[in-house]
Amino acid sequence: MTAEQKHLEVTLQTQVESVNLAEEMCLRVAEAAGFGEDDCYRIGMSVREGVINAFHYGNQERPDKKIHLAVDLTDVKMVIRVLDEGKGFDLASVPDPLAQENLLSTSGRGIFLMRSFMDEFDVATGRTGGAEIIMSKRLPLPAAAPNGNAGQQAAPKQEA
Amino acid sequence: MSLQCTFRDAGTVTVVDFSGKITLGEGSALLRKTIRGLLDEGRMKLLIDLGDVDYIDSAGIGEMVTGYTTVKNRGGELKLLNLTKKVKDLLQITKLYTVFDVHSEEAEAVRSFK
């Protein structure tokens, strides 16, 4: 890891409150990195959806399982990883929520929203054997960031 | 900000004013409880005012769809009023904007009920 990279990693309980906590933490990093209001909204929503996915589908809302959130800030992008302790899933098998037959489905839009709001999105099998959502957003151009130093003020190193 | 809800009558239509966030947990639960409670009171024409709701996640969207289908299956109508830009954008990218009957003016929305 270079000196320009910043890393934040926390372990969250499998509970509803973790969704808000994860979103708030990532929003602070995104704001400090110089993202504008719209991008912060998209990043926050994506983190929220990633943690909801881990809470509900991955960990099956079981309190004995954990949610692992990691944020990396490089000189070009913000990378967010959300890892659960479930059985993993095949991204290709997720139904398309925009298909006519799924429009009135009461669930299944989280993956779609993360894909829509982030620049890169993928799901892998993580070290726990569960699903690891990996998504990223390119940093705003330096000229658009306060003092031209996007990404330099963010991300305290923390283990919880 | 947690979700708040009040409702009022506009003729035979019940206007339900929400403010706050409709998200996983208390927000989506309040939306569900409110709609079912109003249906149980025989209020079958529901106009949901989202003018003070600027944040809905996938759980909230799912609950809105549940409300829509529940009302429809019981012979009623559920329409939306005063979407904020973020909520409108969200409904557009999920293609739900064409599913819901969306209005921006209350009197016209009330008149649109059968």
Tens digits of residue pLDDT in B19-71? 999 999 999 999 999 999 999 999 999 999 999 999 999 999 999 999 999 99
> By residue range, what is the domain housing residue B102?
4-111
- Looking at residue B10, the DSSP 8-state letter turns out to be E
Any CB–CB contact under 8 A between A89 and chain B? no
A80-92 pLDDT, tens digit per residue, is 999 999 999 999 9
The Cα A17–Cα A24 span in angstroms is 11
Which residue's entry shows tokens 């298909």?
Answer: A99
Task: Please tell me the distance from the alpha carbon of residue B55 to that of residue B90, in angstroms, as a whole number.
Answer: 9
Contact A106 B58 (CB under 8 A): no
- Contact of B110 with B77, CB cutoff 8 Å: no
What ipTM does the predicted assembly reach? 0.92
Residues of B in contact with A102 (CB under 8 A): none
Domain with residue B87: its CATH number is: 3.30.750.24
Instruction: Answer whether residue A31 is part of any domain.
Output: yes
Q: Is A99 an interface residue toward B (CB < 8 Å)?
A: no
Q: What is the mean pLDDT of residues A94-117?
A: 96
Q: How many folded domains does chain A comprise?
A: 1
What pTM value is reported for the model?
0.89
Q: Is the pLDDT of residue A148 over 70?
A: no
Phi, psi of A144 (to 5 degrees): -90, -10
Domain that holds residue A137: 6-145
Pick from B67, B92, B91: which is nearest to B77 by CA? B67
Q: Does residue A32 belong to any structural domain of this protein?
A: yes
- C-alpha distance from residue B32 to each of A153, B36, B66, B69 (Å): 42, 6, 8, 12
